Structure 1
């Protein structure tokens, strides 16, 4: 079971590394490159439902902890 979870996390992070904001002022921008204030605003307002919300929650945690480069490195290591 642990290996399956690890695989799902890896797939999620790879998808996150290639995901772009689908709407709004920052439409088309990589999620990891959204301005921190914007992600914090979502954190305070409430994240959208579904996978986009899950990804934005992860982006929030990464930005708060200064770990954005992890996602940028994943994007380089696992190109589309």
Structure 2
């Protein structure tokens, strides 16, 4: 993980699929868990989804709140 990845979680939108346009930090846990079971996509988006799944799984999503701009 790179430090800037945490900021990307609250600014980058899901580029495809059922939740296209949703911030990665706002994706539902069951969707993130599906990727964990089936495999994360390659590249940056996969890395960010894996990080968000880990954060969500451990109940740490509230730690992203200070990074959200005007939300």
TM bucket, shorter chain:
0.7 to 0.9
Aligned residue number for residue 38 of structure 1: 31
Task: Looking at secondary structure, tell me which structure has more helix per residue.
Answer: 1
The TM-score normalised by the length of structure 2 is 0.87
Alignment of 1:47-58 (within 5 A): 47-58=40-51
Unpaired segments of 5 or more residues in structure 1?
1-7
2:55 match: 62
TM-score by length of 1: 0.78
Q: Please, which runs of 5 or more residues in structure 2 have no aligned partner? A: none
Range with bigger deviation, 43-52 or 16-25:
16-25
How many residue pairs match? The answer is 70
Query: CA RMSD, aligned part only?
Result: 1.6
CA distance in 1, matches of 2:63, 2:42: 24
**Greater C-alpha Rg:** 1
